[in-house]
Amino acid sequence: MVTDAQTIQTKKLSTPEYLSRFFFNHPRTVLILLLAVPLTWLIVFYVGPLLILALQSFFYIDDYSGTMVKQLSLNTYAELFTPPNMEIVTRTVTMAAAVTLVDVLIAFPLAYYLGRFAKGRIKSLLYLGVLLPLWSSYLVRVYAWKLILSNEGIANWFFEVVHLTGVRDWLLSLPVVGGSSLSFSYLGMFMVFVYIWLPYMILPINAALERVPRSLLDASSDLGAKPGYTFRRVILPLVFPGIIAGSIFTFSLTLGDYIIPTVIGNSSYFIGPVVNRLQGTSGNVPLAAAFTIVPITIMGVYLLLARRTGAFDAL
């Protein structure tokens, strides 16, 4: 044995052999090598710009010259908190919250069926159905919805075929959410948002549901709980992290989106298009930056609240 060990020690090693032995004995070096590229990428292209963005939101535009003054001040935030701008924030947040809520309501039953009952081919087809829209162009789908919802579109045709134009007209006559047509109303915009982010809600809920062992449901039932009780006390708490994960997607994606409010709706302002306009045509980068800080802050507060309610306890 001793002589064997000595031969291994003294044997001339080939480069790959030497390297693999070096890496085996230096796990920390391996970790650094593996993380170097992604970590650099993360810092240079994600964290860095975000910090610069935050910094720029404390600069301001000089009213006379129209140029950016690179001095720290709260002038831009004072502008952000004026009523017209806050109205934009409120409108966007309300839309994001409504979209998230309805996405949860639609996604849950589907994810539940997918995770608990669907088997084999049906399951694959359903997964495909959820994922397929994500493979096609986002812009194409938004413009497709523009056509669907327009006055000449199939939505209107459908209402006429089933003789429910009264319902449509009533919906469009509602204050705030209504409008001249589905494609020019909050209602239409809301429908498109709900559609476009739905897969991002289904997938995390489905993943969370699949992780709940069948025996837990059996156990709850065994201990006398009716299905509704089992749902509230066992399924919901265990799936809640999945719902939170999904809502992070739907909520933040709606907060930041600038295509849908531009293509569909009554051209009232949402955060996304406003940021687009401010940093583009208006050249007011500080205010654009301040507007961008809003969704980030909202998401931060949202996550803190979610953690406080114990949403992540079951992770």
Partner 1 sequence: MSDQKNDHQAAAPAVQFTAVERYFGDVHAVDGVDMAIDDGEFFSMLGPSGSGKTTCLRLIGGFEQPTSGRIEIHGQDVTNIPPFLRDVNTVFQDYALFPHMTVGQNVGYGLMVKKVPQAEREQRVKEMLALVQLPDMQNRKPSQLSGGQRQRVALARALINHPRVLLLDEPLGALDLKLRQQMQLELKAIQHQVGVTFIFVTHDQEEALTMSDRIAVFNQGKIEQIGTPTEIYEQPATKFVAGFVGTSNLINAEQAKQIVGQRGDYALRPEKVSIVAEESSVAADQCCVTGTIQDVIYLGVNTRYVVNLDMGGEMVVLQQNLRASADNPTVSHRQKVMLIWQRDDLRLLQG
Name the site residues for partner 1 (rule: CB under 8 A). 213, 215-216, 218-226, 229, 233-234, 237-238, 313-314
Give whole-number Cα distances, 117 to 92, 235, 238, in Å: 37, 15, 18
Q: Which is nearer to partner 1, 153 or 237 (CB)?
A: 237
Question: How near is the Cβ of 313 to partner 1 at its closest, in Å?
Answer: 6
Give whole-number Cα distances, 74 to 55, 79, 80, 170, 287, in Å: 11, 9, 10, 45, 11
Q: Which is nearer to partner 1, 18 or 229 (CB)?
A: 229
Give whole-number Cα distances, 215 to 208, 211, 212, 247, in Å: 15, 11, 8, 28
Question: How near is the Cβ of 145 to partner 1 at its closest, in Å?
Answer: 39
Question: How near is the Cβ of 216 to partner 1 at its closest, in Å?
Answer: 5
How far is the C-alpha of 134 from the C-alpha of 130, rounded, in Å?
A: 8
Length of the chain in terms of residues written? 315
Q: Which is nearer to partner 1, 208 or 274 (CB)?
A: 208
Question: How near is the Cβ of 72 to partner 1 at its closest, in Å?
Answer: 46
Alpha-carbon dihedral 36, 41, 46, 48, rounded to 10 degrees = 80
How far is the C-alpha of 79 from the C-alpha of 61, rounded, in Å?
A: 11
Q: Which is nearer to partner 1, 129 or 213 (CB)?
A: 213
- In this structure, the strands spanning 60-61 and 68-69 are antiparallel
Residues 86, 94 contacting (CB under 8 angstroms): no
Q: Which residues pair with 61 in a beta bridge?
A: 68
Rg (CA), the chain: 27
Q: Which are the contacts of 229, defined by CB distance < 8 A and separation ≥ 6?
A: 220
Question: How near is the Cβ of 293 to partner 1 at its closest, in Å?
Answer: 35
Q: Which is nearer to partner 1, 88 or 208 (CB)?
A: 208
Question: How near is the Cβ of 113 to partner 1 at its closest, in Å?
Answer: 20
Q: Which is nearer to partner 1, 107 or 238 (CB)?
A: 238
C-beta neighbour count of 123 within 10 angstroms:
14
Question: How near is the Cβ of 217 to partner 1 at its closest, in Å?
Answer: 9
DSSP notation for 247-258: HHHHHHHHHH--
Q: Which is nearer to partner 1, 233 or 307 (CB)?
A: 233
Q: Which is nearer to partner 1, 26 or 211 (CB)?
A: 211
Residues 287, 294 contacting (CB under 8 angstroms): no
How far is the C-alpha of 296 from the C-alpha of 290, rounded, in Å?
A: 10
How far is the C-alpha of 125 from the C-alpha of 178, rounded, in Å?
A: 36
Q: Which is nearer to partner 1, 225 or 263 (CB)?
A: 225
